[in-house]
Amino acid sequence: MYRHIAGLLRKAVPIALLILGILYSPHCLQAQESVFEVKSVIRDVRLRFKLNPADLRCLTPLIKKENNDVLLIYARFGGDEPDYTPELWKQLATKRAEFEGRMDEPLSKRQRSALRSARSALERRILTFIVGDFINFLGKYLDLDALQFDGVSHFYYLDSHNKYDLMLRGFRDPYLLQMAVAEVSKRTESWMERILTPDRLRVFRLLLANNDDLVSG
């Protein structure tokens, strides 16, 4: 019993901290609606998979549960000091594998497809927040001008999109996923060399090196 309670607390504390962070953010209401609501995700899968009321009664609590699980990823990697490193993709892959392991629920084939689609939508949404946090952090840390900020934004959103697609295909093979993610990172960093001035590029590389040290440590 005590072990069960301890497990619940480990899950609840990060979400509680995330809620406090959002409640005290300057864009509180918009952030709450975007991060915590699942109505739009449920609506989309309902229309796409032609779900009936019985399907929705079965799937709605499962989708809400998956949203809470995905929020833990943001609690770990998002915020004012975001952690947009290979560890993010490792964690996403681990949690995706755990999700697939929970698919032993007595669901129909259509319900399983709908739940997978909902999970992917929730993951993509959280990734958009994390990469947005990272871009904003870079903008301040590197003192980017508007043109540089737009360029960095474009290539890091593309970076996130490409890595997420790799994660979906390769979450069962961590080593190959790590190699593929590293290749995408190299391409993105090569674009940073064209966008940033020499001084900013030097600071950017130091930041990446420090992040690598933290991850390896």
3-state helix, strand, coil in the chain (%, to 5): 85, 0, 15
d(CA 8, CA 110): 30
Half-sphere exposure of 64 (CA within 13 A, CB side): 8
Sequential pLDDT tens for the chain (217 residues): 434 434 444 444 444 444 444 444 444 434 445 667 899 999 999 999 999 999 999 999 999 999 999 999 999 999 988 999 999 999 999 999 999 998 877 899 999 999 999 999 999 999 999 999 999 999 999 999 999 999 999 999 999 999 999 999 999 999 999 999 999 999 999 999 999 999 999 999 999 998 765 554 4
d(CA 120, CA 117): 5
Global pTM? 0.82
- What is the largest distance, in Å, between two alpha-carbon atoms of the chain? 59
